[in-house]
């Protein structure tokens, strides 16, 4: 059996981490099963968060680079002043699926913080899980970030076209593409390509006397755990039985090929691990529950916490902004920084995004990934605005915040610890506001896939763009999402046919005493008159003039006409629609409706 390890649950003890946070982190820090799963990364649902006041200024420390010869170590006195270091933040998703809303919000916060402070936004792919990480998923994440408009300064380059606008799954604007070379001076930006660095950094820890080999098998550790759990006091973590092995014996066992892991030599008697979190304030974890965590597994692969520290240090990350499900990882990472003689970055842990039912946001609440929201017709600027406000505010009142303003005004001080609730009704309202503000040219560009779904022809879109621009004012006040376009505009592409809604026929055309047939015949006569300009106002006034002589209200004339032309009693403005249609097609629809409803 190969050696194994266990970790003990970590619960912060500081006042800022009281109550809910303590219980949450006790769960988040529960022991990993054993070394092949020890300290696996927390979920990419870096849940929505909100930061406490006053803890961070614009520029805080970057970690010094680990680059150098194996065993070099790093002189603590050589570190520059934390406040003098440039802002460098990273978003580090695992390509095990799509980019989910929680991860997107974490990326937005990192991007906005970098932009507001003149810093760098780094994208790093944590793809060390060979069974779940795929290149296809990596491309999905890159496309989603590009669609959101979150441009990264360093990281994997994307060879495919950036998504210029919304594209439902049936009409993709870009196929998955293979990445080209990374951009940036601190790559590679994929963990699977950084194994040499992890080996070098382990050598540094060995040279500093901060790491040791452990030969305990999984069976042995399981037996020790079971015995400890039955004894008074319970399980207290790995008992450090290999820590005191004679170095010559350890070297001989390694040379003989005995399976082993490498563990961090946590200082005995170390005081509590305390750090200032940019969300929760001062947080402390009891050091006595920290066992000697595994750094490198028997197969040579690094554990999550070790790889993350290596990467963040190499890339000189100044602020780690991530979900609070990673809070229990922080003391472990701080211990690794200390073992390397390095100063940790500033940590900012973001609280959770909840569904309307108060439970953690998940697929049961509806769409969960960025691309699902794209496919449902949400605009990237609206989604960025909405997600930014799940825990951060500009002034407590402003709701619509342009991307450029977010990039200027974002600060960690205005993020709150309170969990955010994902309110899709508010998102729909906000998306509608962005649609109303975007203008006809931008709307036609973004709406193209849904216009095609409604019945438009691609060549026609190119041949007469001005006609399509006229559709925007018909819908701007009536749309909350772009995927509503086919239902609302399909009637404009029926030609001389009409698809009558049965309920509208029954409640409007066949309603007793409504005189619908008379109304349609009268309106048809007006619409057939080539002496009346085929323009909205002229046609509406001519038809309205029919009402008074017949003792009818204008609505009694217009509702049957709406059903006959648009197929439904609910539609965009009637006469604006008629103006956009061919006269012969409108008359043919009226004739067809008269025949179906009245046998005329």
Residue 426 designated active-site: no
Report the candidate in 402, 410, 342, 385 with the shortest Cα–Cα distance to residue 58: 410
Q: Give yes or no for a contact between 468 and 461, defined as CB atoms under 8 angstroms apart.
A: yes
Report the candidate in 9, 5, 13, 20 with the shortest Cα–Cα distance to residue 273: 13
What length does the chain have?
600
Report the candidate in 563, 570, 572, 569 with the shortest Cα–Cα distance to residue 596: 563
Neighbouring residues of 50: CB distance < 8 A, sequence distance ≥ 6: 279, 350, 351, 390, 391, 392, 415, 416, 417, 418, 420
Strand runs labelled E in 202-245: 211-214
Q: Is the dihedral of CA 152, 83, 320, 262 positive or negative?
A: positive
Helices (H), 231-329: 247-255, 304-314
Strand runs labelled E in 196-280: 211-214, 261-264, 273-277
Q: Is the dihedral of CA 435, 438, 444, 446 positive or negative?
A: negative
Bridge partners of 350? 323
CA–CA distance, 11 with 290 (Å, rounded to integer): 11
Residue 166, CA atoms < 13 Å, CB-side half-sphere: 29
- 341 burial class (0-12, 13-18, 19+ CB within 10 angstroms)? middle
Q: Which of 20, 359, 363, 553 is catalytic?
A: 363
Token pair for 326 = 């990673």
Neighbouring residues of 24: CB distance < 8 A, sequence distance ≥ 6: 324, 325, 327
CA–CA distance, 136 with 487 (Å, rounded to integer): 33
For Cα atoms 516, 521, 524, give the angle at the middle one, nearest 5 degrees: 120
Strand runs labelled E in 365-510: 420-421
Q: Give yes or no for a contact between 280 and 21, defined as CB atoms under 8 angstroms apart.
A: yes
Place of tokens 């079971």: 226
Report the candidate in 514, 521, 496, 502 with the shortest Cα–Cα distance to residue 563: 502
Provide φ and ψ at 327, rounded to 5°: -60, -40
Bridge partners of 319? 89, 346
Bridge partners of 264? 211
CA–CA distance, 529 with 545 (Å, rounded to integer): 14
Neighbouring residues of 215: CB distance < 8 A, sequence distance ≥ 6: 3, 242, 245, 250, 253, 258, 259, 260
Residue numbers annotated as active site: 363
């Amino acid at each position: 059996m190969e050696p194994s390890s266990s970790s003990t649950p970590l619960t912060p003890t500081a006042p800022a981490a009281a109550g809910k946070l303590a219980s949450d982190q006790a769960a988040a820090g529960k022991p990993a099963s054993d070394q092949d799963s020890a300290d696996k990364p927390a979920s990419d649902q870096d849940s929505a968060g909100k930061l406490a006041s006053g803890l961070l200024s614009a520029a805080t420390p970057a970690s010094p680079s680990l680059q150098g010869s194996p065993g070099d170590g790093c002189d603590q006195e050589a570190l520059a002043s934390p406040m003098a270091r440039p802002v460098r933040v990273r978003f580090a998703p695992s390509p095990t699926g799509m980019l989910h809303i929680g991860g997107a919000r974490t990326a937005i916060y990192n991007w906005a913080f970098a932009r507001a402070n003149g810093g760098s936004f780094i994208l790093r792919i944590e793809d060390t899980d060979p069974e779940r990480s795929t290149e296809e998923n990596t491309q999905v994440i890159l496309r989603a970030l590009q669609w959101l408009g979150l441009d990264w300064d360093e990281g994997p380059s994307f060879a495919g076209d950036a998504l210029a606008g919304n594209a439902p799954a049936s009409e993709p604007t870009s196929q998955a593409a293979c990445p080209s070379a990374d951009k940036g001076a601190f790559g590679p930006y994929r963990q699977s390509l950084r194994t040499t660095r992890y080996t070098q950094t382990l050598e540094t820890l060995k040279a500093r006397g901060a790491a040791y080999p452990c030969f305990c098998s999984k069976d042995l550790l399981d037996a020790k755990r079971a015995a400890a759990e039955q004894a008074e006091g319970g399980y207290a973590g790995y008992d450090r039985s290999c820590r005191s092995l004679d170095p010559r014996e350890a070297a001989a066992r390694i040379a003989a090929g005995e399976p082993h892991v490498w563990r961090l030599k946590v200082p005995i008697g170390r005081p509590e691990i305390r750090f200032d979190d940019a969300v929760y304030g001062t947080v402390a974890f009891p050091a006595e529950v920290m066992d000697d965590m595994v750094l490198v597994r028997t197969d040579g692969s690094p554990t999550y916490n070790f790889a993350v520290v290596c990467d963040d240090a190499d890339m000189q990350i100044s602020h780690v902004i991530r979900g609070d499900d990673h809070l229990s990882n922080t003391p472990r990472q701080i211990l690794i920084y200390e073992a390397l003689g390095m100063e940790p970055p500033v940590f900012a842990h973001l609280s959770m995004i909840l569904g309307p039912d108060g439970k953690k946001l998940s697929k049961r609440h509806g769409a969960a990934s960025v691309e699902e929201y794209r496919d449902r017709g949400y605009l990237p600027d609206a989604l960025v605005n909405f997600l930014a406000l799940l825990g951060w505010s500009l002034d407590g009142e402003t709701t619509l915040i342009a991307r450029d303003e977010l990039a200027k005004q974002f600060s960690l001080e205005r993020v709150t610890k309170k969990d955010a609730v994902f309110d899709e009704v508010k998102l729909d309202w906000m998306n509608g506001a962005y649609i109303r503000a975007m203008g006809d040219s931008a709307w036609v560009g973004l709406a193209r896939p849904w216009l095609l779904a409604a019945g438009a022809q691609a060549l026609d879109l190119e041949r007469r763009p001005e006609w399509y621009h006229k559709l925007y004012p018909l819908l701007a006040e009536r749309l909350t999402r772009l995927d509503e376009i086919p239902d609302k505009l399909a009637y404009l592409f029926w030609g001389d046919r009409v698809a009558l809604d049965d309920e509208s026929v029954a409640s409007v055309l066949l309603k007793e005493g409504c005189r619908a047939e008379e109304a349609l015949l009268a309106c048809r006569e007006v619409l057939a008159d080539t002496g009346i300009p085929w323009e909205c106002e002229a046609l509406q006034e001519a038809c309205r003039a029919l009402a008074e002589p017949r003792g009818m209200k204008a609505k009694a004339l217009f509702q049957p006409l709406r059903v006959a032309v648009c197929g439904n009693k609910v539609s965009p403005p009637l006469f604006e629609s008629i103006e956009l249609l061919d006269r012969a097609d409108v008359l043919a629809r009226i004739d067809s409706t008269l025949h179906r409803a009245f046998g005329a």
